[in-house]
Amino acid sequence: MWGGTFTEPTDPRIVAFTASFATDRRLLQWDLAGSIAHAMMLGETGIIPAQDTADILAGLRSIAADAAADRLPVDGVFEDVHSFIEAALYARVGDAAGRLHTARSRNDQVLTAFRLFAKQAAIDVVAAVLRLMESLRTRAAASIEIILPAFTHLQHAQPVRLGHYLLAQFWALARDTDRFAACYRRADVLPLGAGAVAGVPYPIDRRRIAQLLSFSAISDNSIDTVGDRDCAVELAAAVALLMVHLSRWSGEIVLWATDEFGYVRLPDRVAAGSSIMPQKKNPDAAELIRGRAGRAIGDLVALLSMLKGLPSGYHSDLQEDKAIVFGAVDLALSSVQAMTILVDALEFDAQRMRDAAGRGWMTATDVADYLVRKGVPFRDAHRLAGAVVQEAAARGQRIDELPMDVFQSVSPLFDTDVLAAVTVAGAVNARETPGGTGRAAVLDQLAAAQAAEGQIRGWLEAASAALAPVRALLEG
């Protein structure tokens, strides 16, 4: 593909070191689609002859068909996927293949294929996350009457419904889908036509290429275009935050599966054993999700570190973006799938959760709230509630087990209705504000969750439909 001014061959060891084919061959279909659109535009504008255009298009589509049917091994000693395609095209159509690279550089060519990949990756991850969200919502709806402790500082805080707890994971994932949709939008800008760095001196029609490849816009500046990897960073960042969310939930599953908590049981199909301790059932999948979050964070740091010192324009450092992003996307897809299997399989111990919710004087805030409703300023009510907790601790009783004379010794404002207010059920049912753990509030939240799934599903359908013409290019 180059070498006109070179007087000696490149050292094979340098060739092997600089080659990216082992990684970027994953872009084969997207590079073929970009090349087909480019060739169509070249023919339509008269930049290359019509017959050469027809031959090139037929050759590119035959490569796509043979690769899809495993009749064409995508391997060999090639610098990158682009040189592989060009060599295959020469073998099929002869000298006409040499016209395909007119009015483009590998700099804008590879970025076009990469942006198409990024758009599809965003779709794939959102689809996988949506399945996990559906599983969480289903489990939440089925466990709305189960009460367990919520934690702050990993200490018993206040009682909540298990459905409310599971929906907390749901809404974090909903934000993740929004971030991936933004990644799609950011990648939806055509770089082809920027050339190597200065644009191209041919009367190309960039908007026609954008139409053929389903890009909603074309890039504005050729220098910025060829060095821009914002969409790669944002995709890696979205993956990293998704993995952090999965990691936090995984950490809770690990804790909940211990004998000390006992909130969940792991069916054999999602557990692992020990090579030495026959009694063990280990949450390996959850632990590996938690561990792999570190890799996702590392991918983001690696990409940012690579970019931070680069001058304007293209540099071979940017070749590293694909291995990083491919790995991050694969990590996200496999981890989301594993978490979905876990969520579907977990067996919740409702009695253990209810028993735990009765420990730790978790309705102390409700004692204070009771006094506030009687007209006591909250800070004073907080102090008086603390005195009630001290009495309960000294007696070894729950707050709702204390006799009325204890309450009234702390404040004469306490009446018999306090005993219902400070039960676990009373505390949970009192929180009916939007987003709270009261039954009606959680039911509203479930309805909102189902509506959110519908919106995400609608985005997926629209985004997938927008990319469908790109795949159709491969088939003519």
Known catalytic residues are 153, 274
Rounded distance between C-alpha atoms, residue 321 and residue 28, angstroms: 16
H helix runs in 188-221, sequence order: 206-212
Rounded distance between C-alpha atoms, residue 80 and residue 474, angstroms: 20
- CB-CB neighbours of 326 under 10 Å: 18
For residue 121, CA distances in Å to 214, 290, 354, 449 come to 15, 22, 42, 24
Rounded distance between C-alpha atoms, residue 362 and residue 156, angstroms: 7
The token duo for 344 is: 């579907």
CB of 353 closer than 8 Å to CB of 147: yes
Terminal CA-CA length for the chain: 27
198: left (phi over 0), alpha (psi -120 to 50) or beta: alpha
Nearest CA to 94 out of 66, 129, 65, 52 is that of 52
Nearest CA to 202 out of 337, 96, 101, 91 is that of 101
Sign of the torsion angle spanned by Cα atoms 278, 281, 282, 284? positive
- φ/ψ (deg, to 5) at 50: -60, -40
446: left (phi over 0), alpha (psi -120 to 50) or beta: alpha
118: Cβ contacts below 8 Å, ≥ 6 apart: 183, 184, 187, 231, 232, 235, 325
Structural element, H or E, at residue 369: helix 364-373
Helix and strand numbers (H, E) in the chain are: 19, 6
- CB-CB neighbours of 61 under 10 Å: 16
Sign of the torsion angle spanned by Cα atoms 431, 434, 436, 437? positive
Nearest CA to 232 out of 117, 315, 82, 109 is that of 117
